[in-house]
Structure 1
Amino acid sequence: MSTRSTTQHERIDPYLLKLGLVLVLGIVMSMLDTTIVNVALDTLGQDLDAGLATTQWVVTGYMLALAVVIPATGWLTDRYGAKRLFVLGVGLFTAGSGLCAAAWDVDSLITFRVVQGMAGALLMPVAQTILARAAGPERMGRVMTLVGVPALLAPILGPVAGGLIVDHLTWRWMFLINVPVGVASVLISLRRLPADPRPGQSGQRFDFGGLALLGPGLALLVYGLSGAGRAGTFDDAGVWGPMAGGALLVALFVGYAGARGERALIPLAYFRDRAFASAGTVGFMISISVFGVMLLLPLYYQQIQHDSALSAGLLLALQGLGTAVSMPVAGALADKVGPRRVVVTGMTLVALGTLVLTQVQAGVPSWAVAVALVVRGLGFGAAMMPAMAAGYRNLPASAAGHASSVLQIFSRVGGTIGAALMAVILAQAGDFGIALWYATAITAAGALGALLLPGGDTVPAHTQPKEQ
């Protein structure tokens, strides 16, 4: 291996650092908007003269659009080029944000949120694809932290930002703040992102049959799970009906994709790689824990402790602090010693932090809750991006687009399941501690799944991506 390659193995060069910073602008917008609106639903209902059953579609519509579009991002990246697709996604998201800010009634706001969601679905998978192709397997853990920190921090800080805006400004500023950021991101991306090699030369036809099965299947699952969270039960026909339909469509897609092989919208052959399959499982479990506890703690402090939404949001920010501290260190360690030990340690920390939170109704001191949230954040930072990076480890560079789509599907659906599951358990048990015990058990299961990740830092020579 050349001296240049050896140096790259030891550190991230300025080019990769700048590339990650360029991508972060677009990513922050889309990830922040997954949770920033949650604290404003009551305000939206009053201002737009709509009930909660209608205003909740401002959140659900965004999530459904993400679920439908994400499966197509791998093919779109190969067909049109990562740079083109990223710039298009940021541009559409910015336009959708401006339209949301100008919405004249709840129906128009929901429609424009769908536009936002469709555009936002492109950003994280395409950004990960760009970085995966530029970094190669030997630097994947460190490079993924460049987008990983904002990807995990933005949903956690979303309620804080939303609370501040609703308390001191109009709700329209939740969307207006995206416009200057989006314009800057488009201009910088056009100038700084690498040109796409031979854009538009993919000879593979788009798998419309696969999208017709997987897109609606995921959307029905997300819709049913969202309904379970609101209803507090899985027994309602409006919940299990869509979920059953979604599960059937996903199952049909698996059979369909298996028959199509490499021509499928998402080739199932990737799951034969143990690292990739384990990365998806760990990401799924982490997302359940992140979004599940994010639902429970604010509810507890607002309903039981009678704190403000902003105070509850600031408490969750402690978790984000831990994540920001540990993630860069974890990425470097994963590149040196392999992801298994780093991710298992991270998941164990998350489980321990959640274990402390199970005693929240038993009178655990507030300082202990704060420490537990920091520990959870440290664990998330150590687990999430090293696990994601491991998913690309043994795949060729040409598979990065499809792999990013799959890992994002696992993460998004896991987050939806986490929020719905914790809401249902809380409604049935009436006890925050019991719901948090379930979150602890799920996280512990994720730690066991992480044992299947690669343990060393050696990447087989035949899997190394070719130099462009």
Structure 2
Amino acid sequence: MSTVSTPAAVADESDRLDPALRRLIAVLIIGAMAPLLDTTIVNVALNTIVHDLHTTVSAVQWVSTSYLLAMGMSIPLAGWAVARFGGRQTWMMSLVLFLVGSALAGVAWNIGSLIAFRVVQGTASGMVLPVLQTLLLQAAGGRRTGRLMSAVSMPAVIAPILGPVLGGLIVGNTTWRWIFLINIPVCLVGMLLAWRGLEPTSARPGDPLDAVGLALLSPGIAGILLALSQFSSRREFGLPVIIPLVLGLALLVAFVVHVLRGRVANPIIDVRLFQVRAFSAACALLFLSGLSLFGGTLLVPLFLQQARGYSALSAGLLLVAQGVGAMLARSTVGKLADRTGSRPLVLVGIVLIALPIIGFTQVGSHTQVLFMAAFLLVFGCGISTVSIAVMTSAFQGLDRAQVPHASGATRIVLQVGGSFGASIVSLILARQIATHGGGGQTGLITAFSHTFWWAAGFALIALIPAAFLPGRGHQLAPAVPKQPRGEDARH
């Protein structure tokens, strides 16, 4: 008996990722989990590290800050390294470097050595997600970008939820050193899978490193991140904030001038990508997302612990609802992004982010856990929807040679936006607590409520660049010859 394929069945079949691509996704996600978890897992152990290494709170903050700065500085290297050494080789080198940094951090003998080894970890971590995105997009040939971005976003969305829970379990049952040592077996598994599952990719040994661009861009990013970190901790706009901010911005302007002058064939990040409307709108959204996504993610655990009296582990377990929401939305959003385009999904996602944040403005001292879990579930759906749809649209209209540049640029914008969001929300919260905190638990709840209103407003501002995102269609453009630069470009 013959079977007839319906149009729906044919469409469903054409939407499926082929087995080789699914295996590649699994290999890369497993390898990325340790660096991504490490971004948030360490925060739980900072208080323990202060006592064990006989240091101060101000010094131990550099355990996180040094990691953040090193990550930001290494992101621009990812695109060049993939072109110079090949994707598989760059991926393996990143995991090896992260493993070495983790092992050294696990045996650190004082706060200085721990900070230094965190720099090694951060350098490797900054390479991971850009390389992951590049390998997936190039392997897929521009097909089903939405599904691919749902895979890319999964560890980035889930890691901040699982990190504090895992960190609390480790610190509560072992020594803080296992926060780092646990990365060793994870990295070894990731390296083994990559060695067996990744195909060697072509390299271009003749491509020189844009050393001038790197010397301008990486310190520029680090300066801005340092200024935002200082602003978040000091909660005032003084010289420790102004000096690195001005220097960072000056270096970034110099980098843009350096690239636009066209004297280098392969810039570390090609700023001409921002001429593509979809890419520019996506980057604007990624930056603004830091105010709501990272701000909301920062506010909720602080609210649960400070205003509601939850333990770190209890707050982490409640945040699992956010991870569940992200997982529920992930597969559906990936399919829809390929069929309907990014714009409607981002608009819906922004609403899904704003509504639960507004819901938290109404949470009091006796609000049931079930309601807060429901808010977090919807918030997770919104985060997943916006993240996948925005990252999908960022690559529309680009040719394959531009993917490494676009991957690095989007990670930089997201990194700076997240730091900016965390700093701004921390400042608003501190001022609200200073105003209302004297009223005990009621005052703290009021302070958090006002801050949640700010976070909701930041989320709604993102509706403006969302209107400039593309509609349907997310294929990478066919490869095109490189445009002439320098003198040739003028003839």
TM-score (norm 2): 0.89
Instruction: Provide the C-alpha distance between the structure 2 equivalents of 1:8 and 1:217, rounded to a whole number of angstroms.
Output: 46
**Equivalent position to 1:200, from 195, 204, 219:** 204
Distance (whole Å) between structure 2 residues aligned to residue 12 and residue 249 of structure 1: 42
Counterpart of 2:38 in structure 1: which amino acid?
D
Shift of 1:236: 2.3
Distance 1:52 1:39 in 2: 13
Contact kept, 8 Å, 2:291 with 2:425, in 1: the verdict is no
- Which SS does the other structure have where 1:292 is aligned? helix
Q: Is this contact kept in 2: 1:232–1:425, CA < 8 A?
A: no
- Please name the residue that 1:168 is paired with: 173
Determine the structure 2 residue equivalent to 1:259. 261
Question: C-alpha root-mean-square deviation of aligned residues, in Å?
Answer: 1.9
SS at match of 1:194: coil
Structure 2 matches for 1:50-449, cutoff 5 A? 50-197=55-202, 199-201=203-205, 203-233=206-236, 235-260=237-262, 263-360=266-363, 364-430=367-433, 431-449=447-465
One-letter amino acid matched to 1:107: G
User: Greater CA deviation, 449-458 or 358-367?
Assistant: 358-367
Cα distance in 2 for partners of 1:290, 1:229 equals 17
- Structure with bigger gyration radius: 2
| Aligned match of 1:464 | 478
Q: Decide which moves more: 292-301 or 164-173.
A: 292-301
Q: Deviations over 1:388-436 (max 9, x none)?
A: 1221121111111111000100111111111111111111222212222
1:13 aligns with 2:18: yes
SS for the counterpart of 1:98 is helix
Question: In structure 2, do the counterparts of structure 1 residues 8 and 129 end up closer, same or farther at CA, with 3 Å as the change threshold?
Answer: farther
The answer to whether the 8 Å contact 2:145/2:475 transfers is no
Query: After the TM superposition, which segments of 4 or more aligned residues of structure 1 sit over 3 Å from their partners?
Result: 5-9, 360-366
User: Aligned partner of 2:372: which letter?
Assistant: V
Give distance in 2, aligned partners of 1:59 and 1:170: 18
Q: Identify the residue that residue 451 of structure 1 maps to in structure 2.
A: 467
Match in the other structure for 1:32: 37
CA distance in 2, matches of 1:12, 1:348: 30
Q: Distance in 2 between matches of 1:206 and 1:111?
A: 25
| CA apart distance, 1:8 | 7.5
Is the CA contact 1:349–1:378 (under 8 Å) kept in the aligned structure 2?
yes
AA aligned opposite 2:183: N
Distance in structure 2 (CA, Å) of the matches to 1:248 and 1:315: 43
Query: CA–CA distance in 1 between the matches of 2:423 and 2:320?
Result: 22
The CA distance in 2 between the partners of 1:6 and 1:399, in whole Å, is 29
Determine if contact 1:136/1:465 at 8 Å carries over to the other structure. Answer: no
Code of the aligned partner of 1:295: L
Query: What code does the residue aligned with 2:362 have?
Result: Q
- Partner Cα distance (1:149, 1:121) in 2: 17
Contact 1:257 1:268 in 2 (8 A): yes
d(CA) in 1 for partners of 2:341 and 2:271? 25
CA distance in 1, matches of 2:242, 2:317: 35
Deviation at 1:369, TM superposition (A): 2.1
Structure 1 residue 284, shift from structure 2 partner: 2.1
Distance 2:463 2:13 in 1: 30
1:459 to partner: Cα distance? 4.2
Q: What's the secondary structure of 2:468's corresponding residue?
A: coil
Q: Secondary structure at the match of 1:360?
A: coil
Q: Could you list the runs of 5+ residues in structure 2 that have no partner in the other structure?
A: 1-9, 434-446, 481-491
Instruction: Give the 3 Å change call, closer, same or farther, for CA 6–432 of structure 1 in structure 2.
Output: closer
Deviation at residue 120 of structure 1 after TM alignment: 0.8
Q: d(CA) in 1 for partners of 2:355 and 2:459?
A: 9
Q: 1-side partners of 2:214 and 2:163: how far apart? A: 30
Cα–Cα, structure 1 residues 82 and 7, in superposed 2: closer, same or farther, change >3 Å?
farther
Q: Distance in 2 between matches of 1:196 and 1:146?
A: 21
2:148–2:334: 8 Å Cα contact kept in structure 1?
yes
1:239 to partner: Cα distance: 1.8
Q: Distance in 2 between matches of 1:449 and 1:345?
A: 14
Over residues 185-244 of structure 1, what are the superposed CA-to-partner deviations in whole Å (9 max), with x where a residue is unaligned?
A: 1111011112112x234x4422111111111111111111111111122x2221222122
Question: Which amino acid is the alignment partner of residue 370 of structure 1?
Answer: A
Task: Tell me which amino acid in the other structure corresponds to 1:407.
Answer: T
Kindly provide the CA deviation profile for residues 261-309 of structure 1, in whole angstroms up to 9, marking residues without a partner as x.
7632211111111111122122222233222222222222222222111
Structure 1 residues 8 and 131, CA, compared in 2 at 3 Å: closer, same or farther? farther
How far apart in 1 are the matches of 2:13 and 2:271? Answer: 32
Task: Work out the CA distance in 2 between the residues paired with 1:433 and 1:255.
Answer: 44
Looking at structure 2, the residues matched to 369 and 99 of structure 1 have their Cα atoms a distance apart, in angstroms, of: 40
Contact 2:296–2:452 at 8 Å: present in 1 too?
yes
Distance in 2, matches of 1:253 and 1:179, equals 37
- Alpha-carbon distance in structure 2 between the residues aligned to 1:319 and 1:285: 20
Structure 1 Cα separation of the partners of residues 394 and 270 of structure 2: 14
Task: Please tell me whether the aligned partners of residues 15 and 335 of structure 2 are also in contact (alpha carbons under 8 angstroms).
Answer: no
Distance 1:6 1:393 in 2: 21
Q: Is the alpha carbon distance of 1:7 and 1:422 closer, same or farther for their aligned partners in structure 2, counting shifts above 3 Å?
A: closer
* Alpha-carbon distance in 2 for matches of 1:365, 1:243: 43
CA shift in 2, pair 1:329/1:381, >3 Å: same
